[in-house]
Amino acid sequence: MKRKLLITGAAGTIGSVVFKGLQQDNRYDVVGADIHADEKLGIVQMDIGDEARLAELTQGIDTVIHFAWIKDDGDFLGKVLAGNVSGAYKLFEAAVQNGVRRMIFASSNHATGYYRTDEKVGPHDPYRPDSFYGLSKCYIELLGRLYSDQGKISSFNIRIGNFPGDDRPHSERAGHIWISERDMLQLIVCCIEADDGLKYLNLYGTSANSDNYYNIDYLEELIGYKPEDDATKLLELAKATGRNVRQDETIYQGGQQA
């Protein structure tokens, strides 16, 4: 039987690529949902704050892939807490009520953005959020930890590096954290298909960048993730062909200067 997937934020930069990729994979039946419905693309309407709609959409779902996000870090009490964090809670509740097997959450490199750029960071290093945005990602990761420890759902948090939407790295910083479209799709499939015994996982989502800030090597053995692209090489090529590469090396991995 096909696995039934729900993708939130399916009209967004990453969600649209993943939605299209998974629709073409005959192992899956995919429902794409977003606050901006798109009839042509088959994306249904859903507001992450609407509990009744979430209860409806999570029925019969095997795996939820949660990308929906309101990008406004300036409004901590409103958009961040009352929007994104509360929305994630409502989604988890609906998923658990409907017996969803696994939640894959689009976390971010900014959950640990205050590590220095000369450090190599792995999933067991302590949180070091560099913004309210990063902090809210930590909070939602821990929501997943709680539900997982309670035995209610398997919960994976992918700390995505940089996915700009045109499938190429644009800056020195991206050279350390970028992920290509095909690697993102592969990683999502690996997370969906990972052993049911894996109840909780934090991982960094990047391509095989030669200068990665993060340790991702163990993922091949653990979940079969074998990234094919390397931002460092692509940036060298870009420079050689005269394309502009932003010089934005910073003190901290998340891009903060102080």
Ligand X SMILES: O=C(O)[C@H]1OC(=O)[C@H](O)[C@@H](O)[C@@H]1O
Q: Which of 28, 89, 114, 133 is catalytic?
A: 133
Nearer to ligand X (CB atom), residue 58 or residue 108: 108
By a kind-dependent CB cut-off of 5 to 8 A, residue 48 interacts, out of ligand NAI, ligand X, none, with ligand NAI
| Cα angle: 82, vertex 100, 9; to 5 degrees | 45
Nearer to ligand NAI (CB atom), residue 40 or residue 221: 40
The burial class, CB within 10 Å (0-12 / 13-18 / 19+), for 81 is middle
User: How many Cβ atoms sit within 10 Å of the Cβ of residue 239?
Assistant: 11
Q: What is the C-alpha separation between 187 and 238, in angstroms, rounded?
A: 25
**Strand pairing partners for 107?**
159
Is-catalytic flag, 133? yes
Q: Which helix (H) or strand (E) holds 31?
A: strand 28-34
Nearer to ligand X (CB atom), residue 133 or residue 154: 133
By a kind-dependent CB cut-off of 5 to 8 A, residue 14 interacts, out of ligand X, ligand NAI, none, with ligand NAI
Residue sitting closest to ligand NAI (CB): 12
Nearer to ligand NAI (CB atom), residue 39 or residue 196: 39
Q: To the nearest whole angstrom, how small is the minimum distance from the Cβ of residue 171 to ligand X?
A: 8
- Which residues contribute to the site for ligand X (CB under 6 A)? 108-110, 162
By a kind-dependent CB cut-off of 5 to 8 A, residue 15 interacts, out of ligand NAI, ligand X, none, with ligand NAI
Residue sitting closest to ligand X (CB): 108
Q: To the nearest whole angstrom, how small is the minimum distance from the Cβ of residue 135 to ligand NAI?
A: 13
Q: Please report how the helices 132-149 and 86-97 are oriented relative to each other, as an axis angle in degrees rounded to 10.
A: 20
Q: To the nearest whole angstrom, how small is the minimum distance from the Cβ of residue 1 to ligand NAI?
A: 28
Burial 159-170 (b: 16+ CB within 10 A, else e): bbbbbeeeebbb
Q: To the nearest whole angstrom, how small is the minimum distance from the Cβ of residue 151 to ligand NAI?
A: 26
Q: To the nearest whole angstrom, how small is the minimum distance from the Cβ of residue 241 to ligand NAI?
A: 24
CA-to-CA dists, residue 234 to 130, 214, 216, 228, angstroms: 27, 18, 19, 12
- Which residues contribute to the site for ligand NAI (CB under 6 A)? 8-9, 11-15, 34-36, 46-49, 67-71, 106, 108, 160, 162-163
Yes or no: say if 27 and 2 are a contact pair by the CB < 8 Å rule.
yes
The burial class, CB within 10 Å (0-12 / 13-18 / 19+), for 3 is middle
Q: What is the C-alpha separation between 22 and 221, in angstroms, rounded?
A: 23
By a kind-dependent CB cut-off of 5 to 8 A, residue 243 interacts, out of ligand X, ligand NAI, none, with none
Residues with a catalytic annotation lie at 133
